[in-house]
Amino acid sequence: MPSQNFITGTLLLTESPSTTRLVPGTIHLRGQSIDAVELDPSQELDLSNPLLILPAFVDAHLHLPQYDSIGIDGLPLLEWLERAIFPAEARWEDAQHAADMTLRVARDLISFGTTAFAAYSTVHHAAAQAAIDTLATLNLTAHVGQVLMDQEAPAELTRPADRLIAECASLRAQGRVQPSINPRFAITCSRALLHAAGDLASKTGRFVQTHLAETVPECARVRELHEESTYTDVYAAAGLLSPNSLLAHAIHLSDHERATLSRARAIAAHCPTANRFLNSGVMDRRSLASASVPIALGSDIAGGPDRSMVRVARAMLDAAKQLGHKPPTAGEAWHAITAGNAALLGFEDLGVLRAHSRADLILARPTIPLTAPDPLSTLLYAWDDRWIESVLVAGVPAYTR
């Protein structure tokens, strides 16, 4: 007999943004998966002292080697990269350091409820493979890419384009961790490197991760370095836009560029905490959504200082309010950091409490009642990481408070 067990509590159901809600029920587990979800709507919803059962969080954009660089304040993006981030990334020349740091970072992310993500390593090939292998030992689900840079960065962090592409192509998947293709952004990549990365993406079907239009000076430098008339066209011409492309930030865009992203079904990774920390601009989520650009949500550690995806979700609402737009609902926010991000990243068995989903779960007990009229809003704004009692990865407790 396979072992079987169950958890009864208040379930966060995240099937769609508009129907995300709390319902009493029981999750039956079998091995690594959810065997069945039994809803009990006849039972009164416990909002005063519930055991919450949530699908674990998915982060659509973060930088593993930047984890210890959170909070280096006062520098705009390009100076911050040069003075704070590149020195930290240079330390990943030591692949053992990369493996050790990845293990520590991953355990910390799990304690915040994140069990799946799309991430960058560094330009170092051995470090990228070490990060992939280490994440797989923890049973996490991820896209992780070696950073591709062949210009406009310190010499120790650049490589010739052909070497980078050969190294990137030879990265091996491990467990549920897939290598992705991460040309850092159009400043640090030559035309040849971007086009070769696009070719590799179409040959392999791997995810592409890059940054797009995060700050005004960055956009100006891209115009100086590349011949295309817009930043988005630089990536389009290189074959880097597809439904498997994650474009972080996507703030300073024209309608034409939004239409280009939309036609390609390329994904904008909204990073509201990073945009605030680096003072890069406020992303107009409403315009992207109106143009039907798929929008994921990312912490962008260390540009974003917040490790909890709940705080990133809150910042998404704050950014919309700052622009005077109607913010997404709390239900939409909970959906975005679970099922929404999972679907966009191709993690179809994550983000939703349903039979056959993988049992990546958060068990949390709020210390204040989730008062009406919208318990999901109370949950979002009052959320405290100390509420997390345990986090399961593939049915096994990977963090216990």
Residues near Zn ion, by CB under 5 A? 248, 300
22 has which bridge partners? 12
> Is 32 in a helix, a strand, or coil?
coil
61 part of the interface to ligand GUN, by CB under 6 A: no
Total residues in contact with ligand GUN, by rule CB under 6 A: 11
Structure tokens at 79: 């100076």
**Residue 127 binds which entry of ligand GUN, Zn ion, none, with Cβ cut-offs from 5 to 8 Å by kind?**
none
The minimum distance between CB 248 and Zn ion, in angstroms, equals 5
274 part of the interface to ligand GUN, by CB under 6 A: yes
Figure out which of the listed residues 211, 307, 314, 335 binds ligand GUN, where binding follows CB under 6 A: 211
In terms of CB distance, is 127 or 398 closer to Zn ion?
127
- Is residue 167 within 8 A of residue 147, CB to CB? The reply is no
In terms of CB distance, is 188 or 378 closer to Zn ion?
188
> Is 153 in a helix, a strand, or coil?
coil
184 part of the interface to ligand GUN, by CB under 6 A: yes
Stretch near ligand GUN under the rule CB under 6 A, chosen from 51-59, 77-85, 311-319, 367-375? 77-85
Per-residue x/- marks for ligand GUN, 79-98, CB under 6 A? --x---x-------------
Considering only residues 101-130, where is the footprint of ligand GUN by CB under 6 A? Answer: none
**Residue 398 binds which entry of ligand GUN, Zn ion, none, with Cβ cut-offs from 5 to 8 Å by kind?**
none
Tell which residue, 87, 49, 47, 55, has the closest CA to residue 68. Answer: 87
Which residue do the tokens 């239009």 mark?
213
Q: Which residue is nearest to Zn ion, using beta carbons?
A: 300
The minimum distance between CB 118 and Zn ion, in angstroms, equals 10
307 part of the interface to ligand GUN, by CB under 6 A: no
- Is residue 188 within 8 A of residue 149, CB to CB? The reply is yes
* Cα–Cα dist 195/53, whole Å: 44
Q: The sheet that has 21-30: what strands, in order across it?
A: 33-39, 21-30, 4-13, 52-55, 361-364, 388-393, 396-400
Figure out which of the listed residues 24, 50, 303, 331 binds ligand GUN, where binding follows CB under 6 A: 303
- Is residue 300 within 8 A of residue 271, CB to CB? The reply is yes
Burial of 326: CB neighbours in 10 Å, binned 0-12, 13-18, 19+ = exposed
Residues lying near ligand GUN in the complex (CB under 6 A): 63, 77, 81, 85, 184-185, 211, 214, 274, 300, 303
